[in-house]
Amino acid sequence: MYANYYGDLMGTAKHSKLLILGSGPAGYTAAVYAARANLQPVLITGMEKAVS
């Protein structure tokens, strides 16, 4: 999924000013404020939990 957007994940490097680990409410809030400050954040999410 992300490999198509970023290219080969093992062969290329992408530099970012801000890396946010976690996509909970705090992670998304941090990403929004960082984007408003033109920091171009990268948000790393975990795997989705299956809902039955």
Q: Report yes or no on 6 lying in a domain.
A: no
What is the phi/psi pair of residue 25, to 5°? -55, -40
**For the whole model, what pTM was predicted?**
0.63
- Judged against a pLDDT cut of 90, whether residue 5 lies above it is answered with no
Q: Report yes or no on 40 lying in a domain.
A: yes
Domain with 40, as residue range(s), is: 15-46
Q: Report yes or no on 51 lying in a domain.
A: no
Give the pLDDT confidence score for residue 37 in this predicted structure. 95
Q: What angle do CA 36, 43, 34 make, to 5 degrees?
A: 20
Closest C-alpha among 22, 20, 44 to residue 31: 20
Q: Report yes or no on 36 lying in a domain.
A: yes
- Judged against a pLDDT cut of 80, whether residue 17 lies above it is answered with yes
Burial readout 8-44 (b: 16 or more C-beta within 10 A, e: otherwise): eeeeeeeeeeeebeeeeeebeebbeebeeeeeebbbe
